[in-house]
A and B are shown apart, each in its own frame.
Chain A
Amino acid sequence: MLSPAILLAAVLNGLMTGAVYALVALGLTLIYGVLHIINFAHGALLTAAMFAAFFAHKLLGLDPYIAVVFVAPLFFLLGYGLQRFIIGPAAHGEDRNILLVTLGLAVVIENALLYAFRADTRTINLPYAFDVVEVGPAFLALPRIVAFVLAFAVALGLWLMMRWTDTGKAIRAVAKEKLGAELAGIEVAHIYAVTFGLGTACVAIAACLLIPSYYVNPHAGNAFVLIAFTIVVLGGMGSVAGALIGGLFVGVVESLSGYYLGESLGQISIFVMFILVLLFRPSGLFGERA
């Protein structure tokens, strides 16, 4: 059972899956880091983006990897609009209101999708979906390798943006000290919306990377969001590097425990980890001390 070939294959698989988890978590952690809310609509937005990628392929014949160029900006605007015109105004400055608004949004989006597209499970069949790359003894599916590389690129891009651009600096300023940022002339409502938009765009990219090897139905996004929450807590709320490393780590843990404990029991290890992190390092691996 413990053959190194299988072990290597399982670890590689975990890394591939983990990269996509990381991308979903990246959006979540960004929104949490700045707005200090858990965005419950994250899963629903992921589902919506998967539908967008699906229909871009079905109706316009766009490859998901090309569609990402359109879907990501579209979802940035959607996220921006949601925060600026719905979540922000409806919150009246109270965090728990935001929580409920995002929860409400999730219900609305999911049911709107259910109404529009029914519960039908949809998949797209791409010519390269079954192409594999042999890495030693392991066969790695091409879409998963693409997802891995792109997820890294997005994380790097996001990190650079946060570090060097004015918008990135403004986001960090708002996250650290809202009032101070406002006094320095930063428009907080705008930065909030930009952050929400960026988080939503991350989810849209994840959706385009997922759709070649996964399926979409009105509940598909939820399967990823619980994991993303775990990753955000593990990596440290609000930390880009934490989300990436956390995502990869969770992917590998899930893969190995799935392999050695079975898929049913394997899920437990993720949540055991979640509880352990909360107990012993509540700020996460890369999080700042509260």
Chain B
Amino acid sequence: MSRQFLPVSRRRFLQSTALGAAATVTGVLSAPAVLRAQGAPVKIGVLHPVSGALSYSGQQGRIGAVMAIDEINSAGGIKALGGAKIEPMLGDAQSTPEGGNAEVEKMNAASVAAIVGGYASSICLSASQTAARYDLPYIVDVGVVDSIVTRGLKNTFRFGPGFGVIAKTALDNLVTLNDQAGKPAKTVMIVHEDSAFGSGLAKLLNTQLPERGFEILETIPHPTPTRDFNNVVLKIKAQNPDLVIPANYYNEYVLLARTMQQQRVRPKGIYSVLGGAASSYKFVKEFPEAAQYIMDCNHWFDPKNPKALALKKKVEEKNEFYTYEVYMNYSCVLLLADAIERAAAADRAKIIAALEGSTFAGHVMPYGPTRFVNGQNQGAAPVNTQVLSNDIQVIFPASFASAKPVFPMPRA
């Protein structure tokens, strides 16, 4: 009874393990050749914060990336690799830079060819740095902090615009908008969340706006989350500025806009830069009155591109909102697939070289020609949007505009 679970003698055991090890070694060595012939799948890392504070954005980003991968695969995969399918390795950065790093390590160990994603600037910064140690190509999906592309990392590419470009565009367009309307706006109040994004923006606006002829009445910081905006709105009411510039995340943005509507505070314009909800279909759908006429300078799809509109339809059919995370990740995956196609290999160095020389045009963004300098796409640019009769329209630049701006907002 007690002996029956020892059927293998020690010698037999040693023999078989040695054989097994030998088989494994030969298997590994011969694998690439065999796989190439069969069009073996190309693994890419899809990294997003799908849990924790940023999980909504992370989940939206994942939707976009996975949709692009599905489209590529159903259209015959990577043709230069014999129709190889793209196999996503989904990672959760848990809304922290450390979480992002851990996933990059895992993805590297699983021999992915490249990584797309990150979402938050802080995650993008650390995850791309970790990937750089393995010469692993990293495409930043959103992360706008400028230092992401100024560290001289050869592996890091950002397809979308950085903060500097966005802020400059936003200010230029604000001046144009105001001039076109006969300069109705002179005074400004800024409401911003107090972390790096909101504070950085507020600081920039505080130096730039006075140079462009605006007077800043007050700058109001608030934490995330803020439970109640009545005090902030009271302050706005007391000072009665022409323009209110909010810089905060989705929930706070919505609360602020709702409270302003409730307290009957109607400045001549609400103009945001990377506003948390200002160009969100969800906000417009749920609070059409509070959202009406709000302007934003943000990431947006090209409203004249049929591919972008087809994607919008597809996303909305899945009962998801067509947010910028979706189409930016979608575009980034297509950019990567194009590079793998031209590299004709799942080799990391070759993919990096292909990305450096990319002139990819099959994306859905309103960008100029794709050209990477030090990892930053020079064609990337934000657009200005405005909420007009329950829809979001592009109002600047003229080449992509789908409507004329309404400013100052009409008195109800």
Whether A associates with B in a native complex is yes
Residues of A within 8 A of B (CB): 1, 3, 6, 9-10, 13, 17, 114, 118-121, 123, 125, 129-130, 132, 139, 141, 213-215, 217, 219, 223-224, 255, 258-259, 262-264, 266-267
Q: What CA separation (Å) do A72 and B286 show in the bound complex? A: 27
Looking at B218-226, B297-305, B350-358, B388-396, the stretch in contact with chain A turns out to be B218-226
- Chain B residue contacts of A10, Cβ below 8 A: 230-231, 234
Per-residue CB proximity of B188-226 to A under 8 Å, as 1/0?
A: 000000100000000000000000000000001111011
Q: What CA separation (Å) do A224 and B226 show in the bound complex? A: 10
Q: What CA separation (Å) do A259 and B230 show in the bound complex? A: 9
Q: What CA separation (Å) do A119 and B119 show in the bound complex? A: 15
Report which of B53, B59, B222, B225 forms a contact with A264, defined as CB distance below 8 A. B222
Q: Contacts A119-B56, A262-B220; is A125 near B263 (CB within 8 Å)? A: no
Q: Contacts A114-B51, A125-B286, A139-B263; is A263 near B226 (CB within 8 Å)? A: yes
B287 touches A (CB below 8 Å): yes
- Chain A residue contacts of B258, Cβ below 8 A: 129-130, 213
Kindly provide the distance from the CB of A126 to the nearest chain B CB, expressed in whole angstroms: 11
- 17 cross-chain CB contacts under 8 A: A1-B238, A10-B230, A13-B234, A17-B230, A120-B56, A120-B59, A125-B287, A132-B263, A132-B264, A139-B262, A139-B263, A217-B56, A255-B228, A259-B235, A262-B220, A262-B222, A264-B222
Q: What CA separation (Å) do A123 and B286 show in the bound complex? A: 8
Q: Is the CB of B55 within 8 A of A6?
A: no
Q: Is the CB of B221 within 8 A of A259?
A: no
Looking at B109-117, B139-147, B248-256, B359-367, the stretch in contact with chain A turns out to be B248-256
Q: Number of A-B pairs whose CB atoms are under 8 Å?
A: 86
- Chain A residue contacts of B58, Cβ below 8 A: 119
Q: What CA separation (Å) do A255 and B234 show in the bound complex? A: 11
B24 touches A (CB below 8 Å): no
Kindly provide the distance from the CB of B277 to the nearest chain A CB, expressed in whole angstroms: 9
B102 touches A (CB below 8 Å): no
- Chain B residue contacts of A125, Cβ below 8 A: 286-287
Q: What CA separation (Å) do A82 and B59 show in the bound complex? A: 32
- Chain A residue contacts of B235, Cβ below 8 A: 259
Report which of A121, A130, A214, A267 forms a contact with B262, defined as CB distance below 8 A. A130
B178 touches A (CB below 8 Å): no
- Supplied contacts A119-B59, A139-B262, A264-B194, 17 more A-B pairs, CB within 8 Å: A6-B234, A6-B238, A9-B230, A10-B234, A13-B234, A118-B56, A119-B51, A119-B55, A121-B56, A121-B254, A132-B264, A215-B251, A215-B254, A255-B231, A259-B235, A262-B221, A263-B231
Q: Is the CB of B230 within 8 A of A13?
A: yes
- Chain A residue contacts of B222, Cβ below 8 A: 262-264
Q: Is the CB of B53 within 8 A of A219?
A: yes
In the complex, what residue of chain B is closest to A5 when comparing beta carbons?
A: B238
In the complex, what residue of chain A is closest to B259 when comparing beta carbons?
A: A141
Question: Which of A9, A10, A119, A217 has its CB near the most chain B CB atoms (within 10 A)?
Answer: A119
- Chain B residue contacts of A130, Cβ below 8 A: 258, 261-262, 289
Q: Is the CB of A114 within 8 A of B231?
A: no
Q: Contacts A3-B238, A123-B286, A130-B261; is A263 near B232 (CB within 8 Å)? A: yes
- Chain A residue contacts of B250, Cβ below 8 A: 121
Q: What CA separation (Å) do A88 and B157 show in the bound complex? A: 55
Kindly provide the distance from the CB of A219 to the nearest chain B CB, expressed in whole angstroms: 7
In the complex, what residue of chain A is closest to B199 when comparing beta carbons?
A: A264
Q: Identify the 6 closest CB pairs spanning chains A and B, nearest first.
A: A119-B55, A263-B222, A13-B230, A119-B56, A259-B231, A264-B221
Kindly provide the distance from the CB of A26 to the nearest chain B CB, expressed in whole angstroms: 18
- Chain A residue contacts of B221, Cβ below 8 A: 262-264
Q: Is the CB of B287 within 8 A of A267?
A: no
B227 touches A (CB below 8 Å): yes
In the complex, what residue of chain A is closest to B55 when comparing beta carbons?
A: A119
Q: Is the CB of A17 within 8 A of B223?
A: no
In the complex, what residue of chain A is closest to B237 when comparing beta carbons?
A: A6
Q: Contacts A6-B234, A114-B51; is A224 near B227 (CB within 8 Å)? A: yes
- Chain A residue contacts of B251, Cβ below 8 A: 121, 215, 217
Q: What CA separation (Å) do A17 and B232 show in the bound complex? A: 14
Q: What CA separation (Å) do A266 and B194 show in the bound complex? A: 13
Kindly provide the distance from the CB of A268 to the nearest chain B CB, expressed in whole angstroms: 10
Kindly provide the distance from the CB of B401 to the nearest chain A CB, expressed in whole angstroms: 30
- Chain A residue contacts of B287, Cβ below 8 A: 123, 125
Q: Is the CB of A13 within 8 A of B55?
A: no
Kindly provide the distance from the CB of B53 to the nearest chain A CB, expressed in whole angstroms: 7
Report which of A3, A120, A255, A267 forms a contact with B230, defined as CB distance below 8 A. A255
Q: Is the CB of B59 within 8 A of A118?
A: yes
Q: Is the CB of B231 within 8 A of A258?
A: yes
Q: Contacts A13-B231, A214-B227, A224-B227; is A263 near B220 (CB within 8 Å)? A: yes
